[in-house]
Amino acid sequence: MFRSLRRALCAVAAVLLLPLAGVDMARPAHAAETADAPGAGYWHTSGRQILDAAGQPVRIAGINWFGFETANYVVHGLWSRDYKSMIDQMRSLGYNTIRLPYSDDIFKPSTVPNSIDFSNGKNTDLQGLNSLQIMDKIVSYAGQDGLKVILDRHRPDASAQSALWYTAAVPESTWIANLRSLATRYAGQSTVIGIDLHNEPHDPACWGCGDVATDWRLAAQRAGDAVLSVNPDLLIFVEGVQTYAGVSGWWGGNLMGAGQYPVQLTVPGRVVYSAHDYATSVAQQSWFSDPTFPANMPAVWDKYWGYLFRQNIAPVWVGEFGTTLQSTVDQKWLAALVDYLRPTSTYGADSFSWTFWSWNPNSGDTGGILRDDWVTVDTVKDGYLASVKAPLFPSTGTGTGGGGNGGGGSTGACTAAYTVSSDWGSGFNAAVTVTNTGTSALNSWKVTWTWSGAQQITSMWNASYTQSGASVTAVNADHNGSVGVGGSVGFGFGGAPGGGSVPSLSCAAG
């Protein structure tokens, strides 16, 4: 709801994270990526489910990567890393979709993307390109990696969000023309599954009030039909408003009116409703101080948006949610929300979809999955999401593996860092980050260590392992062997007993 901090434009914002003891980071194994895997082609809806071209249910389990909506006019972090290595890292962590915020400024001929590092072979194929051409590159590479993309009209210009879908400088006609332009641009490219029409409508935006100037539901119908007129295969993601029938919530998070006043488009089976939900690091809400918190939260979510899914009205995608995790309240909120979204291991794709805010560490009031170095993964935050991650989708091209390859004479090398994320005496959880320190992309990697005590691995995710006595060898999974230059991937495991010292790790590149 409150956005004075969350769209920080600075390159680095300090993020302090408190570890949460006892986090269950066990991650369900991802399905093998085969031609028969769910997700191929364009998608449509049926009841509360999103279905692929073959009618198989799919779950969006993704991440927001912002920057195109700012005065950099391109995703952030390219000042530090190659874009391919970051997409590879998203893939290795099990995120299957990228939400890409943008502003209408990227359509202006005068707009020039900035803050991109081209040294040492990074981002070489982005040189001389405008913002839309860079977006093309990101979409193409994401598709090769088995990720889908949702385009998000986040702001009318790079300066700020807007309550309504139009401003004096960016009228509705421009908004719709640019939506149509994007829909046409990516027609036939099923990596782009849909467009989020406008980010976080809020007061005076209304739902079902009938005023053409402020009724967001009517505007979404006009824009959605315009998009579908040029690309009828796309999903149309429609966020809520702030206030309905006198009841207020998060910006874009109030879908109470959608049951009575649904968005009706000329092409059926295309509407996915989108809610945003945040914790106290963004703003206080009355439900956080309820004496029954967090047990009260499922009823809150049911009221604002969850009923659409539970009553089989339409799919619901939580397009943004996030927190710094600095407070106990926020930790309890995130644990409750993840449980509410329904574990993939139990419900499969018959679940709420989601994209976490954010990949970027420089989001002022939430931080990100990456830490401030734009490489290291916040394994505690990522661990909360483990149970709701979902399989990757079939690749739309060939060739994965990181960007930034230095060319001839390059060598592969890696390092591994070991962090205990929680230890409760009888057991512990740990995470290992593998970083490509060489001058060429890795195709595979192997990490070995020897404990000084009697620790035994009880489970491992995102890698396979063998253990002989105190010696452990962990080898990459099929989906995270490729690591670009400067990129990192991670795996985690549970072990017992706790209380052991951190071992020295060796990493071998393949």
The answer to whether residue 33 is catalytic is no
Identified catalytic residue from 33, 69, 172, 200: 200
**Two tokens, residue 194:** 């849909």
**Cα–Cα dist 60/150, whole Å:** 10
Question: Residues 6 or more apart from 4 whose CB is under 8 A from it?
Answer: none
Distance of CA 502 to the CA centre of its chain: 31
Q: Is 144 helix (H, G, I), strand (E, B) or coil?
A: helix
Question: Residues 6 or more apart from 273 whose CB is under 8 A from it?
Answer: 237, 238, 239, 240, 255, 258, 263, 305, 308, 314, 315, 316, 317
Identified catalytic residue from 33, 69, 172, 320: 320
The answer to whether residue 200 is catalytic is yes
CA nearest neighbour of 273 among 285, 260, 263, 261: 263
CA nearest neighbour of 290 among 342, 251, 354, 336: 336
- Residue whose structure tokens are 């149970």: 387
- Whole-angstrom CA distances from 177 to 44, 184, 197, 205, 226 are 23, 11, 12, 21, 8
Neighbours of 65 (CB within 10 A): 28
Q: By the 8 A CB rule, do 127 and 109 touch?
A: no
Length of the chain (residues): 510
**Cα–Cα dist 132/111, whole Å:** 10
- In degrees rounded to 5, what are phi and psi of residue 379? -70, -25
**Two tokens, residue 391:** 């399989």
**Two tokens, residue 290:** 């309820």
**Cα–Cα dist 508/510, whole Å:** 7
Q: By the 8 A CB rule, do 64 and 357 touch?
A: yes
**Two tokens, residue 490:** 């991670």
Rg of the chain over all Cα atoms, to the nearest angstrom: 22
* Residue positions annotated with a catalytic role: 200, 320
